[in-house]
Structures are given as structure tokens and as C-alpha cells.
Amino acid sequence: MATSLKLDEEIKLKIHSLAQLRRRTDHWIMCEAIRKYVEAEESKENFKKEALESWQHYQETGLHLTGEEVEQWLSTWGAKNEVEIPQCHE
């Protein structure tokens, strides 16, 4: 699928300069920028989706962990006394 972009001269010059510095083509720089943008946006959407699903689960069940419980659990990560995630409760 072919796609074209219309860019203003200022951004074209910046892309070209960066491409020369990186020893890449202008095309590569633009593709890489778009790829990173799309990945970042997908990550944000996945985070929002997971948060909404978690909120819905909480509303349906009332099960949760407090911030303090999570902090205590996370503080054991990588330590000799690392513990499993605590059980959710009402």
C-alpha cells in the first residue's frame, strides 16, 4: 500500500539533516519515526484498555489491593525475601 506525505520545507530539511548525520535515508528516518509513534500510541491504548477492564472488574467484584499493599509487595522484588503478589480483597 503506497502512501504519500506532504511535509513543510522546515521539517523536510530537519529530516534530511538528521538522515545525513545518522547515515540513513530520509525515507528510513520517516519510517522509523512513524513506527515509533505507532508503537507508543498502541502502548497507550493497551494501557487504557487494561485500566478500564480493571476498573470494570473492581466495580463488579469489589476486589482490590491498596497502594500500600502494592508498594510493600514491589519492595520485595529482586530481594531474597521476594514474595508473591498478595490476594485481592474487598
Encode pLDDT of 4-24 as tens digits. 999 999 999 999 999 999 999
Give how far the C-alpha of residue 52 lies from the chain's centroid of Cα atoms, to the nearest Å.
Answer: 16
Tell whether 21 is covered by a domain.
Answer: yes
Tell whether 83 is covered by a domain.
Answer: no
Q: What is the pLDDT of residue 2?
A: 86
Q: What is the pLDDT of residue 43?
A: 98
Q: What is the pLDDT of residue 31?
A: 96
Tell whether 54 is covered by a domain.
Answer: yes
Tell whether 71 is covered by a domain.
Answer: no
Q: What is the pLDDT of residue 1?
A: 85
Tell whether 23 is covered by a domain.
Answer: yes
Q: Find the domain containing 34 and state its range.
A: 9-62
Total domains present in the chain: 1
Tell whether 67 is covered by a domain.
Answer: no
**Are the beta carbons of 29 and 19 closer than 8 angstroms?**
yes
Low-confidence ranges of the chain (pLDDT < 50): none
Q: What is the pLDDT of residue 14?
A: 98
Alpha-carbon Rg for the chain, nearest whole angstrom, is 23
Tell whether 46 is covered by a domain.
Answer: yes
Tell whether 80 is covered by a domain.
Answer: no
